[in-house]
Amino acid sequence: MVTRMGPVGKTVLAILLIFSVFSWTVIYAKWVSFKRASRESDRFLKTFRKSQKLSEVAAVLDHFHNAPLAAVFAAGLQEVEHQLSRSNPGHLANTASVQRALQIAASEQVDEMERMLSGLATTATTTPFIGLFGTVWGIMDAFHGLGTAGGASLRAVAPGISEALITTAAGLFAAIPAVIFYNHFLHQLRQFSGRMDNFALEFLNLAERYHS
């Protein structure tokens, strides 16, 4: 059926195939990335809560390269160390600036995790319309075949209708997984954002406890 399609139908199918391959590539990459980030963040949070000082966590920070919470911790630690000046040794002068550093780092991590998700959204919203274009074109071709045949027969309209149905199915095949996984990853992203906000409060508590 595909080989008998016209050039427009084949072009539509080729475009949908490109979108589908791109979509599944992003889905796989994000699935692995989110799973790794969640696993390492859990391990890092356990280490952080067992520690009594920020320096103890800093000593093992290199073991958590893929943990967003570790990146937030590093930003907060940098601000804390900056404030522990020689003029005021051991004193945390401004907790608000530490909180801002944590918020900025958390926002950067969310932006990084959100990268490429817009491609899934584009696939989810665009491919049904591309498939619809193929559907309309197939129906137009069917009516053209009907007019050329000079009579209503299944042989005249079948090629155009089948072409229309194939492009419709291809558009849905590309769009449905993109919608499902986009919503799934968006939910996970909101969870990560909430975890980083909560971690920032835990970091401030530990920092104030030993540097106030």
The tens digit of pLDDT for each residue in 122-133 reads 999 999 999 888
pLDDT score of 167 more than 70:
yes
CB 155 within 8 A of CB 206: no
**Two structure tokens written together for 64:** 């958590």
* Residue 114, SS3 per DSSP: helix
Task: Report how far Cα 119 is from the mean position of its chain's Cα atoms.
Answer: 8
Alpha-carbon dihedral 88, 89, 94, 98, rounded to 10 degrees: 150
Domain spans of the chain, in order of start: 7-210
State yes or no: pLDDT of 188 exceeds 80: yes
Q: How many CB atoms lie within 10 A of CB 94?
A: 10
pLDDT higher for 142 or 207? 207
5-9, 28-32, 69-73, 117-121 — which is least confidently predicted?
5-9
What stretches of 84-150 show up as alpha helix (H) in DSSP? 95-114, 117-149
Mean pLDDT to the nearest integer, 73-102: 80
> Has residue 169 got a pLDDT over 70?
yes
- The pLDDT of residue 139 is 79
Contact 84, 92 (CB under 8 A): yes
Task: Measure the CA–CA gap between 147 and 135, rounded to whole angstroms.
Answer: 18
- By the 8 A CB rule, do 70 and 47 touch? no
Residue with tokens 């665009």: 126
Res 24: pLDDT:
95
